[in-house]
Amino acid sequence: MAASDGFIEFLRDQFALLGPIATRRMFGVTGLFCEGVMFGVMAEDALYLRVDDHNRAAFREAKAYPPLSYEKQGRTIDLSFWRVPDRLFDEPDELIGWARAGLAAAHRVAATGSRPR
């Protein structure tokens, strides 16, 4: 289920320091875009940020939450978007730090032209 309009606007406000934030609904979720790359996904009013080998350690706390995933041919496919802890919504400075790490990961993925494992 895609994110609510209120949640989308809340995150646009929170991430305004990153630059212009665009959103696009697709496949039942809402993608968060900045600087031409998708750095986050919103699903059911939960936020998932891009993770790669360079920022995975910074997202250690997010391991307690399941990554964004989907079912394909009876298997669960985990994507490289990890759910941020809900406590971050009360810590805007820390939330923007996590978003910057997700944005940097999205740029690295785009530069390689491949998706991380």
In order of their start, the domains of the chain are 5-112 (3.30.1460.30)
pLDDT tens-digit profile of 44-95?
A: 889 999 999 888 887 777 776 777 877 888 887 778 899 999 899 999 999 9
Contacts made by residues 1-6, CB under 8 angstroms, sequence distance 24+: 1/28, 1/43, 1/44, 2/28, 2/29, 2/30, 2/42, 2/43, 3/29, 3/30, 3/42, 3/43, 3/44, 3/45, 4/45
> For residue 57, what pLDDT is reported?
82
Largest separation between any pair of C-alpha atoms in the chain: 41
Q: What is the DSSP letter of 117?
A: -
pLDDT tens-digit profile of 10-28?
A: 999 999 999 999 999 888 8
Written as one letter, the residue type at 29 is V
Residue with tokens 């406000």: 13
- What is the reported pTM? 0.85
